[in-house]
Structure 1
Amino acid sequence: MNLELIPLLIIALLMISAGGADVETTEFVIEGDHEMTEHRGALIVGDATVTVPANEAVSGPVYVIGGEFRVQGTVEGDVTQLSGSLVVEDGGIIGGELQHIGGSEVLSDEAVITERTTVTLESNEPGPIAAYAPFVLTTLMLALAGAGLSRKRNALLDNIGAATREHPLISLTVGALLSVTFLSIFVFMAFTLILLPVSILGLLTGLLIIAYGIIALGYLAGQQLNTSRVGLATGLGVVAIMVLLQVIGVIPILGDLIGGGLLLMGLGAVVLTYFGLQEFEPVSLPE
């Protein structure tokens, strides 16, 4: 599954939840070529080609967040296009509202569309200050949090830093497994709609844990400054880690691998040490 679809998937699920319609089921088509016949319930089109054949009907609503959605038959409900491609061919019918927000669309003159609206999002090119303001604010917040934590509870960061320094491969492996597992769980929880708030809360918790890992990496980097001012060293270390992530992110593929590896390593070390509450000692295999 393309990870870039996750934000759009969450938006689509929120729209389904807030729509007020009686939706019995929600189907998310991730990949491949599919023909939908007599589908009842909400349909989300991801990285796939989904076709409603002629003389067939689906109830909708339909949300296009990627891939391609082709209408040769009838969609009885609304169609909302957030991204991807939408093609309504000759004889295609959309009985509800077609709402175009993003992506490309090809609408035949012979198609029947009950109502069509287009949401235009103006993309003003941000200035240098506006472009880097979120990064600067995030870095400042993490640096201040790291400085305060290192002065009051430096033992927590000591344990996490030790796990990262002495067991980087284990930390990376655990971080990768946790990210894949829990990301999948939270995404599938979101499909129940009732558990959607829990899913969003889980994703936010994951981001906080990753931020904690960045602070621990900054604490580890700050130890190289050889200064007695632990708070200042940690703050500067966090800034260095954030700048490093920003700079290497410019490098295609390799930069993403290195940056992702650092974040996953910090995540794994946080979990291995129970958020720094105890030292991590790998299990020794009997000889």
Structure 2
Amino acid sequence: MYTIIKSLENSVNLAISPCPNDTFIFYAILHKKIKLSFDINVEYEDIATLNQWALEQKFDFIKLSFGCYPYIKDNYGYLQSGAALGHGCGPLLLSKTKNIDINSKSLVSIPGQYTTANLLLSFFYPNLNKKEICLFSDIPNRLLDEKSDLGLVIHETRFTYQKLGLHKISDLGELWEKKQNLPLPLGGIFYKKSIALKYIEEMEQAIVQSIDYAWGHQKEVLSFCKKYAQEMNEEVMLQHIKLYVNEYSLNLGKLGNEAISKLF
């Protein structure tokens, strides 16, 4: 059971993932290092749950997969800051067996129906329709226990799968970049269209300031990120942050916005 804190006067609610890029980006905001005219109530959940919450319009600001956007665009827009886009950062299709026969009967573990990862899988492997939705951190074990044939992994697992004895079948981000010649849009910070414009603009600016603070106070911020990271190894966590927190996190810009439009 999850406690949802509804918006109060001069207060907004925010939902983000516990992944290092999100906790890194929002540390200074959540710890009041950045001055805001409103208070923030925060919840942490995996990306599949966040996407579902957006369908139910439960939060004022929420981290979502861009793959979810078509389903919520009437009620939500996305900020120009706080996003996860980039190069070499896409989801990986893995298996336990190196030379696996991929066909329409192959069972794929995916991290959520509305994730960008699943959208890309549908683009590049349209015959893989036999899917099971799993918590993203459970997917490697589904493969190792031979409960699924293929696994679509995101977040830290792209840095650790080889140590687990898993094999890369395909890098869906690489396929996207070759096809579109654009950065891959994974997720962003979305706002409910019904909230005050001043809150939207203030949050967008505060995220930029919060990112700047985080890079300038890495030791302090990383200790907070460790509390939530699936992979506690600091080297892996830093790899994750450096990959997903980049120029597009500060401002989507022309390329970032073009990439998002190409998803649909």
Q: TM-score, normalised by structure 2?
A: 0.23
Structure holding more helix per residue: 1
Higher alpha-carbon Rg? 1
Q: TM-score, normalised by structure 1?
A: 0.22
